[in-house]
Amino acid sequence: MTISAHYQLLADDLAAKGINLEDVKAKLKRQHIETPSWGYGNSGTRFKVFPWAGAARNIYEKLDDAAYIHKLTGIAPSVAIHIPWDKVDDYDALGQYARDRGVSIGAVNPNVFQDDQYKLGSITHPSAGVREEALAHLIECCEIMAKTHSDVLSLWFADGTNYAGQDSIAGRKARMDDALKQTYAHLPAGSRMLIEYKFFEPAFYHTDLADWGMAYATAIKLGEQAQVLVDTGHHAQGTNIAHIVAFLLAEGRLGGFHFNARRYADDDLIVGSSNPQELFEIYVELVSAGDAAANVAYMIDQSHNIEPKLEAMLVSVLNCQTAYAKALIVDYKTLREQQLAGDVLGAHRTLIGAFETDVRPLLAQVRAEMGLNPDPIAAYRTDNYAQQIAAARGTATLSGGAIG
């Protein structure tokens, strides 16, 4: 059966369920997945980084690569930057460089975890001098936001302790509250502070922002511009992330995502690669929330180490697109009726029926209507962009590990 025949069968099925296909396609065309600048350069685990021929060497090459991914997908129009990795002298010029290539600067991510002085923490460090240096960097990133027209400050802290008694947990919390309060005062008008959390690592006794509840409580204390960022890899095994998403949406405090996947303790796998149903369930909660999810920011945060950088990023974006498409075609009317009737397995089958639906013909049609190649992976593999940048940039010589 041809793709067009599969598409027509799906269209007929959706029509029978009262689902507006044109509305589904319109929402897919408006989807926005932000890619990270660091995903285009050489990065990996703290044990080893495997260099990739053609990996971006600076923010300008990263923007070139991001623009290429957006050209293939049509739904990746912005690029998150990491400071000081992406620091430049002229941010106005950087913004213009991005716009000239059809993309824009997205979230600004401070780095207060890599330098030696942050070994015992950054804004929670026992030393006032180190805390002041970290705070100055956060404020600097707020200023960069204004220059690049970014509306998101994305915060993740490696702060924590490895041993009982190493530092005062309560004291560190007070230091963090104070630093974030000062940073919040410097946010550009109309922007948001997204507060990320992590279950553990690199701190092994306690992490200063260890879970969504701590991030939520911190955001509430700061004000309406502060929200929670959910990194899909930063949870204990078995955590129901869809539940967290639904709760934060109901409270109006879900700010955004860092999408990736995990098997054990970190988050460096391609989103949707290890548990695609989990990603689908997250998108179901987002679709169900309607307007409450209108301002949620969707960002990739992955460290592609053994994978080709560009193809890995492309697969990441497309996996989010697939999960969203499946969430959009859920028969929510029937699902609600079954839920209210206590039809446990009927409701489950309705939901899983959408997850098991082959949406590739739908996505191919959407891309064709957007003037894109219906198969972005095939387009990438038959194109010579990767070969061109490999020849132009070469392969970097690395030693040691890198931040993942």
Question: For 185-201, what is the mean pLDDT?
Answer: 97
CATH 3.40.50.300 holds for 30-330:
no
Please give the residue that has the higher pLDDT: either 203 or 303. 203
Average pLDDT value for the chain: 95
Is the pLDDT score of 402 beyond 70?
no
Is residue 81 a contact partner of residue 105, using CB atoms and an 8 Å limit? yes
Mean pLDDT of 9-31: 96
What is the predicted pLDDT for the residue at 46? Answer: 64
The tens digit of pLDDT for each residue in 139-151 reads 999 999 999 999 9
Instruction: Provide, rounded to the nearest whole percent, the portion of the chain with pLDDT above 90.
Output: 91
Burial of 201 (0-12, 13-18, 19+ CB in 10 A): middle
Is the pLDDT score of 161 beyond 80? Answer: yes
Q: What is the pLDDT of residue 49?
A: 87
Alpha-helical (H) ranges within 54-193 are 59-73, 91-100, 128-148, 169-184
What is the distance, to the nearest Å, from the Cα of residue 30 to the centroid of all Cα atoms in its chain? 17
Helix (H, G, I), strand (E, B) or coil at 20: coil
Strands 160-161 and 206-207 come out as antiparallel
| 3-state secondary structure at position 195 | strand
Residue 157 has pLDDT above 70, yes or no: yes
State the pLDDT at residue 341.
98
Q: Which residues pair with 35 in a beta bridge?
A: 79
Taking the C-alpha atoms of residue 87 and residue 94, their distance in angstroms, rounded to an integer, is: 10
- DSSP string of 341-382? TT-HHHHHHHHHHHHTS--HHHHHHHHHHTTS-S-HHHHHHH
Bridge partners (DSSP) listed for residue 302: none
Q: Collapsing DSSP states into helix, strand and coil, what is residue 192? A: strand
The count of C-alpha atoms lying within 13 angstroms of the C-alpha of 358, restricted to the half-sphere facing its C-beta, is: 10
On whether the pTM is more than 0.85, the answer is yes
* 75-126 confidence digits (pLDDT tens): 999 999 999 999 999 999 999 999 999 999 999 999 999 999 999 999 999 9
**What is the per-residue pLDDT for 23?**
98
d(CA 159, CA 113): 8
At 304 the pLDDT is 87
pLDDT beyond 60 at 404: no
Between 207 and 403, residue with greater pLDDT: 207
pLDDT at residue 10 greater than cutoff 60: yes
Predicted confidence band of residue 3 (pLDDT cuts 50, 70, 90):
confident
| pLDDT of residue 399 exceeding 60 | no
Q: pLDDT value at position 43?
A: 81
Average pLDDT over residues 24-33: 98
pLDDT, tens only, 209-250: 999 999 999 999 999 999 999 999 999 999 999 999 999 999
CA atoms within 13 A on the CB side of 146: 8
For helices 91-100 and 59-73, give the axis angle rounded to 10 degrees. Answer: 30
Per-residue pLDDT reduced to its tens digit, 247-270: 999 999 999 999 999 888 777 799
Contact 134, 112 (CB under 8 A): yes
What values do phi and psi take at 226, rounded to 5?
-105, 130
Query: Which token pair is 231?
Result: 């990194």
Residues 6 or more apart from 263 whose CB is under 8 A from it? 269, 274
Long-range contacts of 182-186 (CB under 8 A, 24+ apart): 182/135, 182/139, 183/135, 183/138, 183/139, 183/142, 183/153, 183/155, 184/222, 184/223, 184/225, 184/226, 186/138, 186/139, 186/142, 186/143
Q: How far apart, in whole angstroms, are the C-alpha atoms of residue 252 and residue 250?
A: 6
Task: Judge whether 311 and 270 are in contact, CB under 8 Å.
Answer: no
The answer to whether residue 400 scores a pLDDT higher than 50 is no
pLDDT at residue 4, as a whole number = 85
Q: What is the per-residue pLDDT for 398?
A: 61
- Distance, in Å, from the CA atom of 227 to the CA atom of 290, rounded to the nearest integer, reads 18
Tokens at residue 108, please?
A: 């600004």
